[in-house]
A and B are shown apart, each in its own frame.
Chain A
Amino acid sequence: MDTNGVAVPPRPTDWQPEEIQEMTKFSAFTSHPGEEILELYCLNRLEEEEAAGIEEHVLLCESCQQRIADLDGFLKAARQATRDLRSEEKYSEPSLSWAWIRRPAWAAAGALALLTIALAPSLRTGSGELQTVELSAYRGAAEEAGGGVATARQPLRLEIDLSGLASENCCTLELVDANGKVVLRTTAAPESGRAAIEASKGLAQGQYWLRVKDSGGQDLRELSLSVN
């Protein structure tokens, strides 16, 4: 036959025809494999005989090739997301509280705290005490007017204004560092117009961004935070 000048790979020395006959004795699927078995195949959790049947089927079945490609993408994302989740849970326990805003006394106290911080940033609490910072400076033009400022390595509560966001898509809050690495993540509902996220151990010095994302992962807002 015409090989178009392409070098033929050397035949492996341990490649015995008898072995090939043995390995090819399994029969292919005569119908599409089910979702469960295909997933186990993608996870490499099938016995050789079962995997062989699927691979023979997939050699000729384009729709199952696409199903495997989709499953591979899902599994990769699932591993990454669950890994991130576990490492975040180990690192800190981000908490989101809405109840305070619904109670008048707490709402008043919260407003007072915000006012205090807004008027006298130098009065931030000492090391070990919770500091509260309201984020309102958006990335872009408003950023130059000054974003939120916090003290490093001190418990931190960030408060965010969510007014104007549609409730059906809202929200995931992500605090990322200057390299885009997610430091904290939590979910929020915009009904009361505000959300808070806490870093119980505080943050290392640097520039951070708090991203408000919709349920599809699309950025809705991005707010600036400097930690000194």
Chain B
Amino acid sequence: MSALSQPEKAEPLPDEPAPLEAEAKQWTPLVERIQAGDDAAMSELYVLFSRGIRFYLCRQLQSQEVDDKVHDTYVAVIQAIKRGDLRDPERLMGFVRTIVRRQVAGYIGHAIQARREQVDVEAGNWVSDGKSNPEQTAIDQQNAEIMRSVLDSVSKKDREILTRFYLQEQTQERICDEMDLTETQFRLLKSRAKARFGELGKRRVVRSGLSALFLRKKGPDGH
């Protein structure tokens, strides 16, 4: 039966509150203390942003080994604040984000250049192919198999909808228009597929004793 035939409630958002305390935080005093060279203020900034910076770097650079880069980014933020590049201290979060993005662009640019030079000078030498490590490859393969089970359990029409959206990158508007769907039906289908994926994934972890792999995947730093 098509997953579209039985509407379900949309997945609820996380219960825990958003970091409103951070949003409401007055950044100006912290920025001024950093500019004045207050070590405690610098430590405070590190505690606040290091985890988020690490997450962003890991995601963008597809690597877990980013300790040095987190530190470099932190140093770059501190130096930029001290130089007075941040004109509106209340925009600190956006400022940090922009510097992180710049850092990522720089690292990627350097990596591309280094790879080019390595190929030019020592043609035939090993150059990273950008593939995941064996552990991650195994996890990806298992996840793909679980997703395949999800696809096998839905109707042909639902499979086509998911394929259009996730593989062919068609927009929701186009898919709904061409396949005669409402926005709600479209969202429910995706929501169900995700829920089923999560459910099968959990069941599989319990059965096959692969908890260790998943724990490593989602370690204490959340990624």
Contacts and interface: CB of A to CB of B under 8 A. Distances in A.
A63 B93 contact: no
Contacts of A126: none
Contact of A216 (B14, B99, B167, B203): B203
Contacts of A143: none
Interface string B69-98: 001100110111010011110010111111
Q: Output the residue of A7, A52, A56, A70 with the most chain B CB within 10 A.
A: A56
B185 interface: no
Main secondary structure of the interface of B (DSSP, over half): helix
B106 A12 contact: yes
A8 B97 contact: no
Interface in B170-212: 171, 187, 190-191, 193-194, 197-198, 200, 203-204, 207-208
Contact of A187 (B39, B88, B152): B152
A83 interface: yes
Interface stretch (B1-9, B18-26, B117-125): B18-26
Contacts of A207: none
Interface size class of B (residues with CB under 8 A): 35 or more
A73 B136 CA distance: 11
A185 B94 CA distance: 48
B144 A28 contact: no
A9 B13 contact: no
A26 B18 contact: no
A42 to B, nearest CB: 9
A84 B166 CA distance: 13
B56 A29 contact: no
Interface string A29-42: 11110111001000
A27 B187 CA distance: 27
A76 interface: yes
A103 interface: no
Interface string B40-69: 001000001101110110010000000010
A80 B55 contact: no
B207 to A, nearest CB: 5
Nearest to A38: B13
Contacts of A55: 56, 97, 101
A23 to B, nearest CB: 5
Given A77-B197, A85-B163, A215-B153, A32 B223 contact: no
B87 A34 contact: no
A215 B94 contact: no
A28 B18 CA distance: 11
B169 interface: yes
Interface stretch (A13-21, A106-114, A145-153, A159-167): A13-21
A86 B94 contact: no
Contact of B56 (A35, A59, A62): A59
23 contacts: A1-B42, A1-B82, A8-B72, A21-B88, A23-B98, A24-B91, A25-B91, A27-B94, A34-B13, A55-B97, A59-B49, A60-B52, A63-B14, A65-B51, A65-B222, A74-B143, A78-B193, A82-B162, A84-B148, A216-B207, A217-B149, A217-B200, A218-B204
Interface of B: 10-11, 13-14, 16-20, 22-23, 37, 39, 42, 48-49, 51-53, 55-56, 59, 68, 71-72, 75-76, 78-80, 82, 85-88, 91, 93-103, 105-106, 140, 142-153, 159, 162-163, 166-167, 169, 171, 187, 190-191, 193-194, 197-198, 200, 203-204, 207-208, 217-218, 222-223
